[in-house]
Structure 1
Amino acid sequence: MNGAALIARLGDLSAIRGRIEPERALKDLVWFRAGGPAEVLYQPADEDDLRAFLPKVPADVPVTVIGLGSNLIVRDGGVPGVVIRLSVRGFGGVERLGATRLKVGAGVPDKHLAATALDAGLSGFAFYHGIPGGIGGALRMNAGAHGAETRERVVEVRAVTRAGEAVTLSNEGMGYSYRHSDAPAELIFTAAVYEGVPAERDAIRAEMDAVQEHREKSQPIRSRTGGSTFKNPPGHSAWKLVDAAGCRGLRIGDAEVSQMHCNFLINTDAASAHDIELLGETVRARVLETSGVRLEWEIKRLGVFEPGRAVEPFLGR
């Protein structure tokens, strides 16, 4: 990687107000605390800054977007090209629109949206109280929990294209399905309009408290983890398949399948991204062998492997 050379290719950046850093370590920004650097990390000041920056990136240079880093493995070889991180400072606003709608920045933490909706007396957002991520990622993957999903609350999504143009997608245009959207991969979500249902704050608070109690009792929320590792296959619970395959507590180096909830992987000390992904693929291989089910990753994996340390899906099976 040569971040300085890539920045030079971007040309005149004097009008760009955001922060641009060559070869910036990403492990400090992801919850697993593991992985390599971004060739260039750009943190836009706001949407206008993002729109001014994107046309400067040559077409052959990959652009990758990250948010709060909660549901992410960054491989040890790092992420080539430009990594864009939408910060809370630049994209963390929440604005009331009429009686039942909220305009929410893509950098807003999910828990903050739940709390803001509570203050506004709007129900339908309590499930976000238990999701450790940001709205940008929730929009992209249709994040959900406790029987509720992002798509149930989204009215429209604002995004920026690789050419720096602003576009708006309707709920239908997002093409939502389980933990997935069909929105073009090049789009960078910057904000969304959500709609809630008026309700008593005490009832909303009780629902949020139930979500929090469930998390504290069943999930390793104080560990270095990436949240739910695998999607639930149709008709199955991923954690039950992992448990039945004998993987609870399985370790590779300092990476471990959580004893508390075995659909969570944990960095217990100094695990590398290689250790974490290898553990995940080992689990997938064992579940395939014992149940015939091919688990799909819910955690996103970005970047390149270090030379000689690639991890094959299902360990090459």
Structure 2
Amino acid sequence: MQLGSDNLSLINTDMDITRMQHRAPAIDVSRSRGKLRQHESMARHVSWRAGGQAAYFYQPADLEDLKTFLQLWPQTEPIVMIGLGSNLLVRDGGFPGAIVSLHAKLNDLLLVEQDEYGGVVYAGAGISCAKLARFAASQHLTGAEFLAGIPGTVGGALAMNAGCYGSETWQWVERVQLIDRNGMLHERTPENYHIAYRQVELRAAALSETPDNWFVGGWFRFHAGQQESARQAIKTLLSSRIKAQPLNFPSAGSVFRNPPGDYAARLIEQCGLKGFRIGDAVVSTLHANFINNCGQATATEIETIIDTIQTTVYQKTGINLIKEVRIIGQHAGKNHE
């Protein structure tokens, strides 16, 4: 079913037409070109393959369409932007707003500058980190290889300063492109941010100008290098990842940040929590900082394990593990209508 346009569809499989129209946001759908779904299961869109529904789920056609959507969407409705959903858990009670998926939509990937010392690559927020790593290698650039080990998109990597194998996203950032709640585009340099381990925050001066904003792309400066050596480094990294991480079941990767001078996985294992299970949610026996969905795990089961790990590790070691994953939405049984 479509509301007034062949371009923006509002799709629902479990509500009658009258109720759906009552819940539909008051926007001029003819101005948008993306797909708007209602009551969309987020288990389809997060790497844990678990969780509740989004009241609305939007897939923009491109950046211009995202601008239009944000200009039209009611200011009172909450919005969350996602990529591959590799760092996200939506509680079983659902998210009472719009979740906007940028994956494979904001997908520009361009070499915009190159000289004997290196080059600058622009990558849209919807590009996978692995694709950016491979593209940089194909352009005889080095430094991006670590990105192949990050199971997410450029937008997510920018938002949390994702990293692995000794490198972090923001050490390669020249500037970023953002979009605010009104659909306006902005550019920022790293100097506008407080950047730390798995943490990216706008400094106060910049925050006052654009309080609600999301990354839609970034310019990355990499070093000049040999194409084949960069490709080989990517292969080696991926081989190491396969051996060290439990990739045979759905997960969100590392659940907790590493505390200073230690490793979350070591602390979790030390506390005897490897293999700890609630329902189909299980702490991996290969890498204790992973929680696997070994069947039909619910978001509640996964979050309960997360809470149990935090409580147990703190009680036994005095260390408060900080979540690397983001948990949104309402607990089961709560109505988000």
TM-score category, normalised to shorter length: over 0.9
Amino acid in the other structure paired with 2:122: K
Report the equivalent of 2:76: 60
Asked whether 1:44 is paired with 2:70, we answer no
Q: Give the whole-Å Cα distance in 2 for the aligned partners of 1:117 and 1:254.
A: 39
* 1:118-267 matched pairs, under 5 angstroms: 118-183=137-202, 186-267=212-293
Query: Any idea what SS the aligned residue of 1:297 has?
Result: coil
1:241-290: per-residue Cα shift (whole Å, max 9, x none)?
A: 00100001110110000011000000000100000010111111110111
Confirm or deny: 8 A CA contact 2:36 2:59 kept in the other structure. Answer: yes
C-alpha distance 269-32 of structure 1, shift in aligned 2 (>3 A): same
Confirm or deny: 8 A CA contact 2:112 2:122 kept in the other structure. Answer: yes
Q: Mind listing any 5+ residue stretches in structure 1 that lack a counterpart?
A: 309-317
Match of 1:96 among 108, 111, 115: 111
Q: Give the whole-Å Cα distance in 2 for the aligned partners of 1:76 and 1:244.
A: 30
1:200-232: per-residue Cα shift (whole Å, max 9, x none)?
A: 122212321221121011101231000000000
| Deviates most, 233-242 or 184-193 | 184-193
Report the equivalent of 2:11: none
Match of 1:72 among 88, 95, 109: 88
Number of matched pairs:
306
Q: Give the whole-Å Cα distance in 2 for the aligned partners of 1:232 and 1:136.
A: 22
Q: Give the whole-Å Cα distance in 2 for the aligned partners of 1:241 and 1:80.
A: 35
Amino acid in the other structure paired with 2:324: E
Report the equivalent of 1:110: 129
Confirm or deny: 8 A CA contact 1:6 1:40 kept in the other structure. Answer: no
C-alpha distance 4-32 of structure 1, shift in aligned 2 (>3 A): farther
Confirm or deny: 8 A CA contact 2:103 2:153 kept in the other structure. Answer: no
Report the equivalent of 2:303: 277
Task: Give me the TM-score of the superposition, normalised by structure 1.
Answer: 0.93
| Deviates most, 201-210 or 13-22 | 201-210
Q: Give the whole-Å Cα distance in 2 for the aligned partners of 1:103 and 1:48.
A: 17
Confirm or deny: 8 A CA contact 1:3 1:39 kept in the other structure. Answer: no
Displacement of 1:307 = 2.8
Confirm or deny: 8 A CA contact 2:82 2:103 kept in the other structure. Answer: no
1:123-175: per-residue Cα shift (whole Å, max 9, x none)?
A: 11111111111111000000000110001111111111001111111122132
Structure whose CA Rg is larger: 2
Confirm or deny: 8 A CA contact 1:111 1:128 kept in the other structure. Answer: yes
Query: Any idea what SS the aligned residue of 1:224 has?
Result: coil
1:26-76: per-residue Cα shift (whole Å, max 9, x none)?
A: 111111111111101111111111111112222221111111011111110
Amino acid in the other structure paired with 2:74: P
C-alpha distance 3-200 of structure 1, shift in aligned 2 (>3 A): farther
Displacement of 1:105 = 0.7
Confirm or deny: 8 A CA contact 1:4 1:22 kept in the other structure. Answer: no
Of all paired residues, the percent bearing the same amino acid is: 35
Q: Mind listing any 5+ residue stretches in structure 2 that lack a counterpart?
A: 1-14
Query: Any idea what SS the aligned residue of 1:203 has?
Result: helix
Displacement of 1:15 = 1.2
Query: Any idea what SS the aligned residue of 2:43 has?
Result: coil
Query: Any idea what SS the aligned residue of 2:148 has?
Result: helix
C-alpha distance 115-159 of structure 1, shift in aligned 2 (>3 A): same
Match of 2:28 among 8, 12, 22: 12
Task: Give me the TM-score of the superposition, normalised by structure 2.
Answer: 0.88
Query: Any idea what SS the aligned residue of 1:35 has?
Result: coil
Report the equivalent of 2:7: none
Displacement of 1:3 = 6.1
Confirm or deny: 8 A CA contact 1:124 1:197 kept in the other structure. Answer: yes
